[in-house]
Amino acid sequence: MFNFIWLIPLLPLVGFALNVFVIRREREAGYVATGAVALSFLVALATFIQFAFSPPAEAKPPRVDLVLWNWISVGEFNVPFGLLFDPLSGVMVLLVTGVGALIHLYSIGYMHGDSRVVRYFAYLNLFVAMMLFLVMSDNMLLLFLGWEGVGLCSFLLIGHWFERRTATSAAAKAFVVNRIGDAAFLVAMMAIFAHFGTLSFYDIELADGAVIEGFLERADEISGLIFSIPGQNFLVSTGIAFLLLIGVTGKSAQLPLFVWLPDAMAGPTPVSALIHAATMVTAGVYLMARTHPIFELSAATQGWVTWIGALTALIAATAAVAQWDIKRVLAYSTVSQLGFMVAAAGMGAYVAAIFHLLTHGVFKALLFLGSGSVIHGTHDTQDMRKMGGLREHMPTTFITYLVGAGALAGIFPLAGFWSKDEIIAHAWSGQNFSIFLLLFVSSLLTAFYMGRQIALTFFGQQRDHSYHAHESGQVMTMPLMILAVGAVLAGAMNLPMLHWLSTWLEPTLHEHAAEFGVTQLILAVVTTLLAAGSGYLGWRYYVANSAKIKPGAKDPLYRYSGDIWEALEEAWYIDRAYEKLTVVPGFRALARFMAGVFDPQGIDGLVRGVGYAFSQAASALRVFQSGFVRTYALLFLAGVVMVVGYLLII
């Protein structure tokens, strides 16, 4: 199978091409797109199984590196178009294609009747292909191609309903905010090339016997190397890692660049599930795990990573508590969980980060698809104040949603319990008490807002009777059930004592499984009990107060917290701070200058000036075109005399 790993990204790409050029009908588009990703999943699974039972022994760390062709070759700069399949890529590929295929299937039902379904499936396939390039790339540049590609697909899919103003501005916002991170990533890439002379992760042997060296295995070369800007000295490794971190904060929606993710919910719900919860936003965490030797050289950056992750986790969790939009709760929850992963990566617990990435991919996709089912069944209602009592109308959605919420809240024995507990245990054993506290409070808040959401959506009485709620069709409930099973079982990947995932990732991430002792056991029990209590509290409070909740009304907790609640609703005004600090003085002024001065005088002036010059020249020259043949003859003669005279003189 190892020689066929190119099929994994190619199949969705073929699906994209078919949907763009051949297919015109909705039904076929859905089947082709889903089939392409499902086939890709099967190939990935076969490769994965072969890798597990007979890993390629010759390479160290074990990996399959398939160079398809020489991509760019300019002097010293050699970048092959190479695909990598190693333990880390393997689990990522399985997540992307597996969850991706289910979401494609679900989309057939969810997008039924939409006016642009073929285009939707084309973009969805392109996204999967780009994400696969991202996780299977064997060098930074191809990774960057995927990195930008998923950003592009995210932009296109957020703006799928471009008739809505919110969708287009959300798409533009996502693109612009991501661009900041991408610029930093690009600079980091240049710095890596400048210091290592290569962009490949590991050594690659080409067909003609030449070897392209990788930089990860010899990251130590830059340890202790210093560069200076006036007045300050920095480690080179700190510089590179910090630039990569900025890239991560953009793509993985971390403080201070997370603002695009909640707005990205303007896209279709399956897109939110696939791109803005399960896969694309995890690219940053994957990047940190992949390039961890560089991060490990810089203790300063690792501290930043940890703090950014933990603070993001807390801020987003508090914001999620106060949202009314069913999808925005999940969006802030995603930001918060990504904060957990980033904090774990910062503490050096890369396995825990990847573990949480995988389980989160499964149960957050489940939650988003469940919320999509709710939105679908209530005829495009997203405000939870208009819901209520839906458990009787949508039993399947309710049960699966409950499983997903439990997994997210970290209730034993669902998937989120194992992965989140591992991160919290790491913070505890790392003696990092403030980080531990931030993450611990965030995880309690997680349980609370999920309890609140369940109570508001599924319990009580239906508060708005303008729609008739109904359960979604089988094509939508099937993926929900499969994902629910996944959300129950995914924790088994890395059970304490067994540590399958740790062992599996050990060659790539060089991290040994953590000890599991009595302290960890007590911590786990305390965490899950408190989470369950907090979730129950959230549920109980909102069920008891369900009579007070009306469309347009304030939250019952608003009475106790007042202005703080409003701050929570706006995610601590970070969005508004951006508007005040950059959009209004900087961007608006620039736009005004461009629209008021540069465009009418610069661009238009140039265009009009060219036209004016020609018409002036023409009116000067038209004097000669008198219409009298004899004048022409005279001028002709004069011209001839001048030419002859010139020739005589020379």
Partner 1 sequence: MVPTSYYVLLSAALFTIGAMGMLVRRNAIVLFMSVELMLNAANLALVAFARQQVNPDGQVLVFFVITVAAAEVAVGLALLVAIFRSKRTTDVDEVSTLRG
By the criterion CB under 8 A, which residues form the site for partner 1? 622-630, 633-634, 637
Q: In angstroms, what is the minimal distance from the CB of 626 to partner 1?
A: 6
> Is the separation of the CB atoms in 387 and 456 below 8 Å?
yes
Q: In angstroms, what is the minimal distance from the CB of 613 to partner 1?
A: 18
Q: Considering the complex, state which of residue 225 and residue 633 has its C-beta at the smaller distance from partner 1.
A: 633
d(CA 203, CA 421): 36
Q: What three-state secondary structure class fits 70? A: strand
Q: In angstroms, what is the minimal distance from the CB of 617 to partner 1?
A: 13
d(CA 360, CA 346): 18
> Is the separation of the CB atoms in 153 and 275 below 8 Å?
yes
Q: In angstroms, what is the minimal distance from the CB of 615 to partner 1?
A: 13
d(CA 398, CA 400): 6
Q: In angstroms, what is the minimal distance from the CB of 623 to partner 1?
A: 8
Listing DSSP states for 527-563 in one string gives HHHHHHHHHHHHHHHHHHTGGG--TTPPPTTHHHHTH
Q: Considering the complex, state which of residue 77 and residue 632 has its C-beta at the smaller distance from partner 1.
A: 632
Written as six digits, the tokens of 444 are 């309690």
Closest CA to 294 of 237, 349, 245, 243: 237
Reported as type and span, the H/E element at residue 443 is helix 433-458
Q: Considering the complex, state which of residue 115 and residue 626 has its C-beta at the smaller distance from partner 1.
A: 626
Whole-number Cα distances in Å, 40 to 96, 267, 280: 10, 25, 18
Q: In angstroms, what is the minimal distance from the CB of 645 to partner 1?
A: 15
Q: Considering the complex, state which of residue 606 and residue 623 has its C-beta at the smaller distance from partner 1.
A: 623
Q: Considering the complex, state which of residue 584 and residue 640 has its C-beta at the smaller distance from partner 1.
A: 640
Closest CA to 458 of 562, 379, 560, 546: 546
Reported as type and span, the H/E element at residue 643 is helix 629-649
d(CA 239, CA 252): 20
Q: In angstroms, what is the minimal distance from the CB of 624 to partner 1?
A: 8
Q: Considering the complex, state which of residue 113 and residue 627 has its C-beta at the smaller distance from partner 1.
A: 627
Q: In angstroms, what is the minimal distance from the CB of 620 to partner 1?
A: 11
Written as six digits, the tokens of 113 are 């009747």
Closest CA to 86 of 58, 54, 55: 55
Q: Considering the complex, state which of residue 207 and residue 629 has its C-beta at the smaller distance from partner 1.
A: 629
Q: In angstroms, what is the minimal distance from the CB of 636 to partner 1?
A: 9
Q: Considering the complex, state which of residue 22 and residue 613 has its C-beta at the smaller distance from partner 1.
A: 613
Reported as type and span, the H/E element at residue 425 is helix 415-429
Q: What three-state secondary structure class fits 431? A: coil
Q: Considering the complex, state which of residue 594 and residue 634 has its C-beta at the smaller distance from partner 1.
A: 634
